[in-house]
């Protein structure tokens, strides 16, 4: 897939900001599947309802589907992490890096003239940034978000079909799976998406 010269600096920035791979995709190729968002509620994510960036406090799949029609491009990126990290106490650190990378790419896109750029990332911002606080101030109408510079909406909560993004980018998706100790490090992918005008 050829890269338009106007987007090359943004892809290069993503790679320099922590992404292991990054690609521009047509926004029309971003698939939204409401059943993926439903999984946040049942069987149930432990962070369901605890953040303004997660269901049921986000507009959800139907609204994102409409909004996608007003965007032309999307930057899809992944970060490679050891799979065992996602099954340990280091999981939050991996998703913190992901959220911060997504936010940095969004800011860079805005500075490059894509004023409506909007980032989505894996994980719940409450678990990642506010696990020690126990609440989400704006959700409880007690103040502003503690980490607006980093916290971005959950991809799951909007039904973004990550498997289809990998397919469109031409990449193989590596799922995090616990594995027996073979001495080799198993890698997994965590990912984010930034919509661009």
Cα(196)–Cα(113) distance, integer angstroms? 10
| Cα–Cα distances in angstroms (integers) from residue 47 to residues 97, 115, 136, 156, in the given order | 19, 30, 11, 12
pLDDT per residue as tens digits for the range 122-172: 999 999 999 898 899 999 888 999 999 999 999 999 999 999 999 999 999
* C-alpha distances in Å from residue 9, one per residue of 27, 94, 101, 107, 117: 18, 25, 15, 13, 15
Contact call for residues 103 and 97 (beta carbons, < 8 A): no
Tens digits of residue pLDDT in 80-132: 999 999 999 899 999 999 999 999 999 999 999 999 999 999 999 999 999 89
Q: What is this structure's pTM?
A: 0.93
Residue 11: both structure tokens together: 């892809």
Exposure string (b/e) for 54-72, b if CB count within 10 Å is 16 or more? bbebbebbeebbebbeebe
């Amino acid at each position: 897939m050829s890269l338009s010269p106007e987007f090359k600096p943004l892809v290069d920035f993503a790679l320099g900001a922590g992404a292991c791979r990054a690609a521009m995709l047509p926004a029309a190729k971003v698939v939204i599947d409401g059943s993926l968002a439903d999984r946040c509620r049942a069987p149930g994510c432990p962070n369901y309802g605890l953040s303004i960036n997660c269901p049921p406090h986000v507009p959800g799949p139907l609204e994102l589907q409409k909004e996608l029609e007003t965007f032309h491009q999307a930057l899809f990126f992944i970060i490679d992490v050891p799979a065992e990290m996602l099954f340990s106490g280091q999981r939050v650190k991996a998703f913190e890096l992901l959220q911060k990378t997504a936010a940095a790419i969004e800011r860079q896109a805005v500075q490059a003239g894509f004023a409506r750029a909007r980032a989505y990332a894996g994980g719940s911002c409450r678990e990642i940034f506010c696990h020690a606080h126990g609440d989400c101030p704006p959700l409880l109408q007690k103040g502003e978000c503690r980490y607006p510079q980093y916290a971005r909406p959950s991809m799951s909560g909007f039904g973004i079909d990550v498997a289809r993004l990998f397919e469109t980018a031409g990449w193989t998706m590596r799922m995090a799976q616990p594995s027996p100790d073979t001495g080799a490090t198993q890698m997994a992918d965590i990912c984010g998406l930034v919509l661009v005008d």
